[in-house]
Structure 1
Amino acid sequence: MRRAPIAALLLAVLVTGLVTGCSGGGGQERAAGGPVEITIWHGQEDTSAKSIEKLVARFNQSHPDIKVNTESGGATADGMLPKLTAALASDAYPDIAYLYGSWTPNIARNPKTADLTEFTKDPAIKWQDFWANERESVTVNGKVIAFPAVVDNMVVLYNKKLLAKAGVEAPGPDWTWDDFRVKAKQVTSAKDGVFGATWPISGGEEAVWGLWPMLWQAGGDILTPDHKKAAFNSAAGQQALGRLRDMAVVDKSVYLDSSPAEKGQKLFESGRLGMFLSGPWVLPDLQAAKIDYGVAQLPGTDGNHETISGPDNWMVFEHDEGRVKAAATFLAWLTAAEQQLEWMSDTGSLPIRESITKLPGYKDYVAKYPGIEVISANLANAKRVRPPTTRYPRVSAFVAEAIAQALLGRSDAKTALDQAAGKADAALAVPGS
């Protein structure tokens, strides 16, 4: 998973206020007659950093009453949560912060988080144009506390040459998880060092989020509706993890990726992996590696091809009313269809608004990233988000451990999930969760 990565996972941009005499903090007074200043901490690198800086420069030219300053924030995307948490505690905190969607409930509890609900009611923002799962991701306890920043979803990337060499048909629109297992086994060649599929066992969210669609498709869920108990150890969860365990332990068709550096992707790029569960963020890398790849929606269960999406969010924090308004103005501009299409073309990310797909330049974007159209259409299969509870990261860690134990052959699926559920129930029972 990128940012994962979805994601991963790809994109992280933080917008923060300035501290007088100190970069990246809160409290700078607006000079008489001068613009309201906000600052972007962006954990971006390379193309993504250049793209956001280009867009910010254009915004500054067209909005003389607001000045947005760009900074890295002193951390990569994955390191932004502890960076932001420390900043909030010390009062050197952002005006706007780009955060992974799974982090939002934790940060939303901070009283410095701004309520953007009234801003999103402005017809000019076209709030309903954002995908439903994005709007759900940025709404906590009935309040909108962020703008959608990035949306992705999980698909299966496959190496056309490896499948053809093994006499395996490319995935079709109606393929199932049983088909996935069969194809993976047929492609695997110990002699050639080729695996049919890969699965992370490094203990992070990247190990877990591929299991959730299998669970959802079979009628299961992660937690009970009240978020007080684990539900992932149901028959649906046992079936999902059991299938993966059989592929890893019995078929030996799964490369177990124990490195957070994502060796599985490198294996795919080197032509030694038949199928790879990932998302749009890897397409530029695959093009650079000159891999002849195809893209398919996830295998289905009884015709249900539900996938998982990892919406990332631009969160806003209060310094004063003027800065909150300036931040909302900037985000309304940045997330507008025209700017987003440019960002997508630069980075390979997906449309966060439905209307973007109707812009004249969308066809050029699709042509630039082969397979992106399939991933974009797959947003329709992203129907749910991970539970919006502050305890989700701990629940995820317990399930990641269960996955590793099962795929390494150290436990059966039921035992591993039941043990994880016991730990999750204890964590969920803690007050304030």
Structure 2
Amino acid sequence: MNKWKRGSGLAAMCAMLLLASACGGGGNSSGSPSPSQPAGSAESSSPGSSKEASEGKVTITYWNGFSGSDRPVLEALVKKFNSSQDQIEVKMEIMNWDVLYQKLTTASATGQGPDFIAFGPENIAKYADLGVIAPVDDFYENSMIDTSLLPKNYDSLLHYKDHFIGFPMNYFAHALYYNKDLAKNAGLDPEKPPTTWDEMADWAVKMTDSKKGQYGMTLPAGWVYIPQLIWANGGDVIDYSNKTSLINKPEAVEAVKYWTDLVLSKKVAPAPNSDNLKMFASGKLGMMFDGPWMSPQFKEAKINYGVALMPAGPQKQVTFGSGLSMHLTAKGAQDEKIKKAVYRFAQWWFEKDTQKEWAIKIGFPPVRTDLAGDPEIIAENPDLEVFMESANIGQPWFVGIVNSNKIVSEVTQKSFELILMKNADVQSTLDQASADLDKILATER
């Protein structure tokens, strides 16, 4: 089993947000649900077990896929919420993410399932259109949380078709990981990481040593690595307002040419299907951009690494930034007591103390920007200082898109593999990708 993977729980959720097979999912090997002992309760909840307990508590069911190292942290926090008051009890069922989606569709069709659920933005449009999750406009109309404290662009993750559709759960962003020893050996200053595209390209060339099987950077095909480079050049993959393709526009073509030319002519990156995580952890890769879930693995490997903000492109400094959200289900919305109880938990989850404890114990940045630079969080995990700062330049993708999986497999992954692995012409390849993308997007207009 490959040790160097993106783990489970939150990191596995990133896998679905980014739709990349390199991200490993959590859960047991059989793929069956692995329900938790619900916090504050002696027995696991059963699906659809919402009720008002005999002692007057309102019991609400919560499904999620935090089945990795983040699981005990979440369970402890839910237990803390349950014991903090005597009106609401959250009963949680934790399972592998794939199993969760299978169960959700089936259970919702029969009026069963959870009262609220957590998942990524690529699922919002699908489950909102199916009527599985419900609008929560009144939660925000009543100012139950201060949305001005959310990271840049996070607000878009909570909206669908002019309605608020969810509550903030967590946040993560990409930053630049770099090997300080390789930088020093290449005559670079490891305390002054690259801040622009040209500087990053220069570092990549200087840290590459083909005789040692050592590469300066990585540029995997597909998902969000190349799209965020397109953003930095002022372009995008999708026009979200009109649901049309932008992938073959000049800004996108220029960005793809800049980096793929460097990879193909200077050989600064391994093959797109290489195990880049393992290469970095073994000291054979100079730079890669990824999320905070990688820090514990690189520390365990005793790599002398640094973390920096994504270098700025010609038009702007930007990185991939997204997060999970919690969602009230249509089932939960039918009962006013249940709905109010879910709202109260969502409000408590956003509180400063809750977010601070969550961030410290799982190593992810908090979803509240007023905790950026918090000395207790940074003391526990210094890397989070950069990841919290990345919230200022974060940008999500696939917001409001139903067919995100199809777009990755049939458009971005396919076209970038042709360019990187077969040296296909960039313009004509992206022209074909654009035509394919428009056909998929046409079904969503």
Band the TM-score falls in, shorter-chain normalisation = 0.7 to 0.9
Instruction: Give the aligned partner of residue 391 of structure 1.
Output: 403
CA distance in structure 1 between the aligned counterparts of 2:190 and 2:124, rounded to whole angstroms: 38
**Cα deviations by residue, 1:91-128 (Å, 9 ceiling, x for unpaired):** 33221111112222222223232221111233452233
Out of 170, 177, 199, the position equivalent to 1:179 is: 199
CA distance in structure 2 between the aligned counterparts of 1:242 and 1:275, rounded to whole angstroms: 19
Instruction: Give the aligned partner of residue 353 of structure 2.
Output: 338
**Cα deviations by residue, 1:270-297 (Å, 9 ceiling, x for unpaired):** 1111001112121122222222111122
1:324 aligns with 2:333: no
**Cα deviations by residue, 1:65-105 (Å, 9 ceiling, x for unpaired):** 211122223x14x6644443333234332211111122222
> Which residues of 2 match residues 190-339 of structure 1 at below 5 A?
190-201=210-221, 207-258=222-273, 263-302=275-314, 304-319=316-331, 320-339=335-354
1:401 aligns with 2:423: no
CA distance in structure 1 between the aligned counterparts of 2:282 and 2:26, rounded to whole angstroms: 27
Instruction: Give the aligned partner of residue 431 of structure 2.
Output: 418
C-alpha deviation, 1:418, in angstroms: 1.5
CA distance in structure 1 between the aligned counterparts of 2:116 and 2:257, rounded to whole angstroms: 42
Structure 2: stretches of 5+ with no match in the other structure: 1-5, 28-32
C-alpha deviation, 1:300, in angstroms: 1.6
CA distance in structure 2 between the aligned counterparts of 1:303 and 1:224, rounded to whole angstroms: 18
The structure-2 alpha-carbon separation of the partners of 1:82 and 1:179, relative to structure 1 and needing over 3 Å to count, comes to farther
Instruction: Give the aligned partner of residue 187 of structure 2.
Output: 167
CA distance in structure 2 between the aligned counterparts of 1:296 and 1:303, rounded to whole angstroms: 19
Instruction: Give the aligned partner of residue 442 of structure 2.
Output: 429
**Cα deviations by residue, 1:128-167 (Å, 9 ceiling, x for unpaired):** 3222422211111121111111111111100000111122
1:44 aligns with 2:66: yes
Instruction: Give the aligned partner of residue 171 of structure 2.
Output: 151
CA distance in structure 1 between the aligned counterparts of 2:137 and 2:253, rounded to whole angstroms: 40
The structure-2 alpha-carbon separation of the partners of 1:278 and 1:141, relative to structure 1 and needing over 3 Å to count, comes to same
Instruction: Give the aligned partner of residue 369 of structure 1.
Output: 381
For the 8 Å contact 2:115–2:328, the answer to whether it is kept is: yes
C-alpha deviation, 1:31, in angstroms: 4.0
State the AA in 1 paired with 2:432.
Q
For the 8 Å contact 1:249–1:409, the answer to whether it is kept is: no
CA distance in structure 1 between the aligned counterparts of 2:155 and 2:26, rounded to whole angstroms: 18
Q: Secondary structure at the match of 2:61?
A: strand
CA distance in structure 2 between the aligned counterparts of 1:399 and 1:287, rounded to whole angstroms: 32
**Cα deviations by residue, 1:274-326 (Å, 9 ceiling, x for unpaired):** 00111212112222222211112222223621112122111110322222221
Q: Secondary structure at the match of 2:12?
A: coil
The structure-2 alpha-carbon separation of the partners of 1:428 and 1:179, relative to structure 1 and needing over 3 Å to count, comes to same
C-alpha deviation, 1:249, in angstroms: 2.2
Instruction: Give the aligned partner of residue 128 of structure 2.
Output: 108
Structure 1: stretches of 5+ with no match in the other structure: 202-206
The structure-2 alpha-carbon separation of the partners of 1:124 and 1:140, relative to structure 1 and needing over 3 Å to count, comes to closer
The structure-2 alpha-carbon separation of the partners of 1:281 and 1:158, relative to structure 1 and needing over 3 Å to count, comes to same
Out of 120, 129, 147, the position equivalent to 2:149 is: 129
Total equivalences in the alignment: 416
C-alpha deviation, 1:42, in angstroms: 3.3
TM-score by length of 2: 0.85
Instruction: Give the aligned partner of residue 188 of structure 1.
Output: 208
1:60 aligns with 2:75: no
The structure-2 alpha-carbon separation of the partners of 1:252 and 1:143, relative to structure 1 and needing over 3 Å to count, comes to same
1:25 aligns with 2:47: yes
State the AA in 1 paired with 2:376.
D
For the 8 Å contact 1:284–1:369, the answer to whether it is kept is: no
CA distance in structure 2 between the aligned counterparts of 1:11 and 1:88, rounded to whole angstroms: 24
For the 8 Å contact 2:196–2:312, the answer to whether it is kept is: yes
Q: Secondary structure at the match of 1:125?
A: coil
State the AA in 2 paired with 1:237.
A
CA distance in structure 1 between the aligned counterparts of 2:54 and 2:386, rounded to whole angstroms: 51
For the 8 Å contact 2:133–2:328, the answer to whether it is kept is: yes
For the 8 Å contact 1:399–1:417, the answer to whether it is kept is: no
State the AA in 2 paired with 1:92.
Q
CA distance in structure 2 between the aligned counterparts of 1:103 and 1:428, rounded to whole angstroms: 16
CA distance in structure 1 between the aligned counterparts of 2:103 and 2:256, rounded to whole angstroms: 34
CA distance in structure 2 between the aligned counterparts of 1:23 and 1:364, rounded to whole angstroms: 35
Instruction: Give the aligned partner of residue 352 of structure 1.
Output: 367
CA distance in structure 2 between the aligned counterparts of 1:225 and 1:55, rounded to whole angstroms: 36
For the 8 Å contact 1:298–1:305, the answer to whether it is kept is: yes
For the 8 Å contact 1:153–1:280, the answer to whether it is kept is: yes
Instruction: Give the aligned partner of residue 3 of structure 2.
Output: none
